[in-house]
Structure 1
Amino acid sequence: MSEKYLIGVDGSEQSRVALAWGLARATERGATVQLLHVADDSFLSESVAFLSEAQKASEQMLEAEVAYARSLGFTGEISGSAVVGHPIAEVEEASKSADLLILGQHSGTRFAGSFFGTRAVKVAATAHCPVAVIPTVDATPNAGVVVGIDGSEASQRAIAYAAEEASFRGAPLIAVYAWMPPLTPGLEYLWSEELVESQRSAAEEAIAIGVAGLAERYPDLEVRREIIQAPPVAALVQAAEGAQLLVVGSRGRGGISRLLLGSVSHGVLQALPCPVIVTRA
C-alpha cells in the first residue's frame, strides 16, 4: 500500500514551497497526496451565513491549490479537504490517516486559514504521524541528512527514520551528539580533562549504540559522527545548515506530554535551518 501525505495549504508562498516539496517526495515514492485547508473559525461569527461563506472560501482556496499542484506537473493521486474549524484540532484529526504531515514555514498571522509558524510546533506535538516543516531556504546539493542523538527512545526512532531517508536519497547520515559541561549555580563552568574525556566517552558510546545495526541494513550508507560542545538546539541548527533534512524525535502523545513537543524539537522548528521532520512514537 502506498504512503499518504497530508499537506496543509493556505495559498501563501511558504505554503506553496511546502506543497512543492511534498509533491516531489510523493512522486519519488509513489505516495498519494491529500491537501487540507482549514478556515480558522476562531475569528468568525457563529452565524450560519458567516460559516457558510467561510466554507465556500475554504473550498475555493482548496480548488486553487489543487490546480496549482497540477500546474507543477504532479500526475499522482491527489485529493483535498476544505473545512471550517479549529486548525490544530482539524489537522490532528486528519493526521490519523496520514503517513506524513507536511507544513510550510510561516511567520504566523491571524488570518483565517493560517495555521503555520508557531502553530506548527503545536501541530507537531499533537499529530498522529511524523510532521515535516519546510522552510523557504534551499538545501545544498549532495548535503547530508542530520539526526540528533541523545540515547533516548525518541532519538532511536529518529535515527531509524533518518537512516532510511539518507539511504533512499544516497546521502550521508550525520549523527550529532551535543553536550555541555555542568553548571553549578554561582560558579563558572567546571572544566577538567577528566570531565571532557568522560563526556566524549559518553557521546561516543551513545552514537555507537544509536547507529548499531545500520551498516547491516544499509551497507552503502555513509555514517558521519559529530560530537559538538554546544547546547543541543544550537548544535543541530549549525550541523543542519544547508542539509537535505534534519530529523528529531518527539516525546510521544501520552498524557500531558502530547502538548509538549520538547525543547530541542521546539527550538529547531523555530530556527528551521533546512526541512525538519519530527518523528512520532
Structure 2
Amino acid sequence: MSEKYIIGVDGSEPSRVALAWGLARATERGASVELLHVADDSFLSESVAFLSEAQQASQQMLEAEREYAQSLGFAGEITGTAVVGHPIAEVEEASKRANLLILGAHHGSRLAGSFFGTRAVKVAAVAHCPVAVIPQTQVKPNRGIVVGVDGSEPARKAIAYAAEEADRRGLPLVAVYAWMPPLTPGLEYLWSEELVESQRTAAEEAIAIGTAGLAQRYPDLEVRREIVQSPPVAALVKAAEGAELLVVGSRGRGGISRLLLGSVSHGVLQALPCPTVITR
C-alpha cells in the first residue's frame, strides 16, 4: 500500500515551497497527495451566509493550488479537501489519514506568537503522524540526514525514521548527541575533570545504544556519530546546516501535555535550518 501525504496549502510563498517539496518526495516514493486548505472561522460571523462564502472561498483556493501543483509537473494521484474551521483542529483530524503531513514555515503569521508558538509547532504537537516543516530558504544539501539522539523513546523512533530515510536515499546518517554538564551559576568550580569525563562517557554509551542494530538492518548505511558539548537545540541546528533533512522526536503525550512539544523540537522548529521532520 502506497504512502499518503497531506500538504497544507494557502497560496502563500512558504506554502508553495512546501508543496513543491512534498510533490517531489511523493514522486520519488510513488505516494498519493491530498491538498488541504482550512479557512479559519475564528474571525467569521456564525451566519450561514458568511460560512457558505468562506467554504466557497476555501474551495477556490484549493482548486488554484491544485492547478499550481499540476503546473509543477506532478503526475501522481492528487486529491483535495477544503474546510471551514479551526486550523489546528482540522489539520489534527486530517493527520489521522496520512503517513506524512507537510507544512510551510509560516513564521510571523497571525497564528504565531501565542502560548503555543508558531502554527507548525502547534500542529506538530497534536498530529497523529510525522510532520515535515519546510523552510522557505532552500540551500543545496551537502550533509545527509541528521537525527537527534538522547536515549529516550521518542529519540529511538526518530532514529528509526531517519535511518530508513537515509538508507533509501543513499545518504549518510548523522546521529548527534548534545550534552552539557549541569552547572549552577557560581559553582562551576565544583565540576572536576573526572565528573566531566563521566558525562562524556555516558554520552558515548547513549549514542552507541541509540544507533545499535543499524549496521545489521542497513548494511550499506554510513552512520556518523557526533557527540557535542553544547545545548541540544544549538547543536542540532548547527549540525543540520546544509543537511538534506533533520529528524527530531516529539515528546507529546496525552491530555493537555500533548499540546506541548519538548523544548528541543520546539526550538528546532523555531530555527528550522533545513527541512525538518518531527516524528511521533
Q: TM-score range by the shorter chain?
A: over 0.9
Q: Conserved in 2, the CA contact under 8 Å of 1:183 and 1:189? A: no
One-letter identity of the residue aligned with 1:15: S
Gaps of 5+ in 1: 112-116
Task: Find the aligned partners of 2:138 and 2:218 in 1 and give their Cα distance.
Answer: 27
State the secondary structure of the residue aligned to 1:58: helix
Provide the C-alpha distance between the structure 2 equivalents of 1:143 and 1:227, rounded to a whole number of angstroms: 16
Q: Which residue of 1 aligns with 2:233?
A: 233
The count of corresponding residues between Structure 1 and Structure 2 is 275
Q: Which residue of 1 aligns with 2:278?
A: 278
CA shift, 1:203, in A, is 1.0
Q: What is the aligned-residue identity percentage? A: 84
State whether residues 142 and 242 of structure 2, in contact with CA within 8 Å, keep that contact through their aligned partners in structure 1.
no
Distance 1:142 1:220, change over 3 A: farther
> Which residue in 1 is equivalent to 2:114?
none
What is residue 28 of structure 2 aligned with on the other side? 28
Displacement of 1:250 after TM fit?
Answer: 0.8
2:172 counterpart residue number: 172
**Residue of structure 2 equivalent to 1:114:** none
Look up the match of 2:198. Answer: 198
Partner of 1:213: 213
Report what 1:98 is aligned to: 98
TM-score, length of structure 2 as denominator length: 0.95
1:122 is aligned to 122
Instruction: Pick which of 138-147 and 120-129 moved more.
Output: 138-147
Q: Within 5 A, what are the aligned runs for 1:246-265?
A: 246-265=246-265
Report the TM-score when normalising by structure 1.
0.95
**CA distance in structure 1 between the aligned counterparts of 2:110 and 2:256, rounded to whole angstroms:** 27
Structure 1 letter corresponding to 2:237: V
C-alpha contact (below 8 Å) 1:41/1:84 kept by paired residues: yes
Q: Deviations over 1:102-121 (max 9, x none)?
A: 0001124338xxxxx80110
| Cα offset, 1:45, TM superposition | 1.1
189 and 182 in structure 1: CA distance in 2 versus 1, 3 angstrom threshold = farther
Rounded to whole Å, the distance in 1 between the matches of 2:252 and 2:263 is 14
Hey, what does 2:48 align to over in structure 1?
48
What RMSD in Å do the two structures reach over aligned CA positions? Answer: 1.4
Q: Which moved more, 1:197-206 or 1:96-105?
A: 197-206
Mark the CA change 1:109 to 1:141 in structure 2 (over 3 Å): closer, same or farther.
closer
Q: Distance in 2 between matches of 1:189 and 1:237?
A: 29
Q: Confirm or deny: 8 A CA contact 1:8 1:15 kept in the other structure.
A: yes
Could you tell me whether the CA contact under 8 Å between 1:6 and 1:98 is conserved in 2? Answer: yes
* 1:182 correspondence with 2:182: yes
Does the aligned pair in 2 maintain the 1:181–1:190 contact within 8 Å? no
Give ranges in structure 2 of 5+ residues lacking alignment.
112-116
Q: How far is 1:189 from its partner?
A: 6.4
User: How far off is 1:138 after superposition?
Assistant: 2.1
Deviations 1:54-73 (A, max 9, x none): 11110000000000000000
